[in-house]
Chain A
Amino acid sequence: MKLFLKTLGYGALYIVLSPAIAAILVFYFIYCIGIFLFQAIRNTIVFFSGGTVGGDLAPDVEAKKILLQKQRDKLEEKPEPAPQPQQNIYVFNGAVPQNGFPNPQSQNMQRPQLDQQTPFGIEQQTQKQIAEPQKEVPSEEVVEEAPKQNDMSFDDALMQALGIKSKRPDMSDESPKESHSMPKFNENDFDDITVSSEEDDDE
């Protein structure tokens, strides 16, 4: 209803003011013909005197210079940083891999703060976040034996299980550079284990 009345009001206003609107239009029509003829003569003179017909005015040229200078300053201020090499270091403290796979429920498991996460959920830590300096494990070292308790990371264990060679830097000076070996079991280790008989299972 509001729109209807608004349109009605504007319509009535335009009808009443139509002579004035027509007079303004006629005036501007004649004025614009004059502008057009003036611009045509000016452009003809500029063209034949060797100038650019659609050229910029003096303030436009100045503004373009300032904008160009600003762009150049921006490029000079922020040079692109050189890409730093990333070393994927797998940090994992704890978890005894009994059968080549880590025990995620181990209390010694400490997950470091994540920097990135691979699609398979293996946590990585870039060199930046490691406080202590890392030493690279020489590539000649081959992991032959199973790791000992509190000595191998989860990812190292997984990779060992899958048969992939990995580099593991030493976390501390005290960490021994020992080759990892499978835990050795004695005959007495299984004395506490009782095996249920088939009769019990049937019950």
Chain B
Amino acid sequence: MTKDMKTTTLCYHCGETCEDTLISIQDKHFCCQGCKTVYEILNKVELCDYYAISQNPGLSRKTIIRPDKFAFLDDEQLKAKLIGYADTTQSHVTFYLPQMHCSSCIWLLEHLARLDKAILRSQVNFLKKEVLVVFDPAHTSLRKVTELLASIGYEPHFSLHSMSGKKIKTYDKSRIYKIGITGFCFGNIMMLSFPEYFSLGSAEDKGLLKLFSYMNLLLSLPVFFYGASGFFSSAWKSIRQRSLNIDAPIALAVLITFVRSVYEILSGSGAGYLDSMTGIVFFMLIGRFFQDKTYNTLSFNRDYTSYFPLSVTLVTEQGQERSIPVSNLEKGMRIKVRNGEIIPADCILFYGKARIDYSFVSGEALPVERSVGEIIYAGGRQSGSALEMEVVKEVSQSYLTQLWNNDAFQRKEEKGTSYIHTISRYFTLVLFTVAAITAAYWYVKDVSRLWNAVTSILIVACPCALLLSATFTNGNMLRVLQKFGFYARNAGVIEQISGIDTVVFDKTGTITQQGHTTIQYEGGMLSTEAQQLIRSLASQSAHPLSKAVLQVLPVSPLLPVKEFKEQPGFGTEGRIGDHRVAIGSAAYMQMEKKTRETGSSVYIKIGGNIAGKFVVSTAYRKGLPGLLTRLKKQYLLSLLSGDNDSEREKLKDLFNAQLLFDQSPQDKLEYILRLQEQGYKVMMVGDGLNDAGALQQSNTGIAVCDDINNFSPACDVIMKASAFSYFDLLLKYCKRNRIIINTSFVISILYNITGLYFAVQGQLQPVIAAILMPVSSVSIVLFTTGMSSFFAIPLKTAGRKNKTDNGKLI
């Protein structure tokens, strides 16, 4: 790899490139004042080990947090909901800090006590990205602790969800207990059964064997009554609903095995099959645990309430500002919305220049400008100066909320039945037929062997091998997919993906990268001098487009600008030396807009002439053309965009498929519905609230997120944006699921036939049962995990390539 020849200075705190070397302390450079401040705070209390543990561990502090942002934490009601435990000497609060990313973070967050004496203790749970802070309420407050965290770059994330007071269930302890206890019993029963397997022991050892079988019986009780209780209750529930779920045959097998074993042991006629029974339960429990491992920090069923801010700034009649919870917002209230904040309700603009980014709500790529007196719909994000507005509709009645509460947008319950479910139903049917035939046969031939033969069949042919293959394949696949930034809601999603034949993409935020732009210059050549002039002028303006232009021009000393004039949102001009320079939109230059342009243009005027223009357009995600070419071969593609069709030509070449623009959320949903009515199995790939309905309606909804901890609409899969370039491989991998399960199913059928061969004759030897059971289970487990890891090899290569391309892990 060639090394970048240009020497760049990296910020000592956050590792971002420093634009200049002005902000520094001794030999340490910082990209912004914020980073420097954090360094100073940490340096003062000798916490600089923070920088020794990982390189540039800090978080960029370029966005400044306004001082009263956390004022709402003084509200008693809110406080009571957030504080987990409190007495007069200490309060316990758990903060969710999605920014946590390295061991330096852990170190710093566990040394909070040194930053503030009133903090007694802090403990990190890295996997959940939580920190538990114990503080002394007499000397500090929840707000102060929050502000301290924010000041060192870890701004806690509060949502209405965490306010509801409900603790999210993290993991099921009883499950782990069950596995532990069942494993213990299983191991010991196996050991005690060994003499039986090899028919060891002479006549005088009979007493010993009897003792062993009684011990087995004792050991099997916790398994039967505790370990397997989940299967019984689930099976019972399904029978009461007059359907057979997958647990029913298992519960039956376990029950019959247990009853027969108890009978054999108590009557002294045999040693029973308790080893098989406990083994089945043990492997099944592990399989379930493996498959249902949920992601602690992800939420797949978020609704709009977690998108909205917690509190809003209310402007009282006396002109004072006060924070109130968003739920208390009423019609007629005056609120203030600052730069970067989300508009919580439909409002009329009173004061300020609104430049609202609706990309998440409607899919429009460029911010919308609104002037005083106009209605602003909830959900947009203001960029620019602070706004004052009056609420015209309460939060629950705003356009956005209504959209959400539309029936079509509600999650349909289970999307189709599992494929395994169907197979297992047939399996059960066949099994009962075989059992019935055998019973009939022995009834005629030799009634004494009927009981023995029928129970053996049910014991041997329990569908556990089939179930094991499904649970272990799915479990392992979920883990592999998760490693590559593809977080499926549950195992059923993998199965759904294998049936997909149509993929529908959203544009803004999905195939384009929010906040990233590409800039192209069109027009006459710019001399070095001209470039310097433009740079000098653009550096005076805070407009995002000026900043974008600034980035593409080579670094040169800035010249003083005289007679500087700026018309916010349109353009800016000034005199530099002898030159009059202006940059701005076509309207600012008093030019007529020719045609619809792709992206937005910044025109350059030097002297009296237009020299050229910079075209700023949103950047497509890396690897998009390649991805689409590969996907096209297997899937029907289409694109739905809430944005205008200015990029139609560009996208037409890429997609070579149906492109629809100016689509409302409802349009998107209906489009998916139409495809489904034509018999297609549709996958929707989207990102924002405007895709929420389509994501719900589709057979599989995938939300693409730059940061998986950010808000994403309800969906089946949350995919990291970094995984986008090898999305096709992920889909391919999911398709392997069925192959693996089918193959291992065939293997387990072979085992079953072998077992049944002995069982129908009514002469199943304990030793054969004992060997068959663990061998079949273990080989199925090995086979499925091995195969699913094997099929992940192309993914690994792609992932590695992606990582080196990006330079660093995202």
Please determine whether chains A and B interact with each other in the same assembly: no
Residues of B within 8 A of A (CB): none
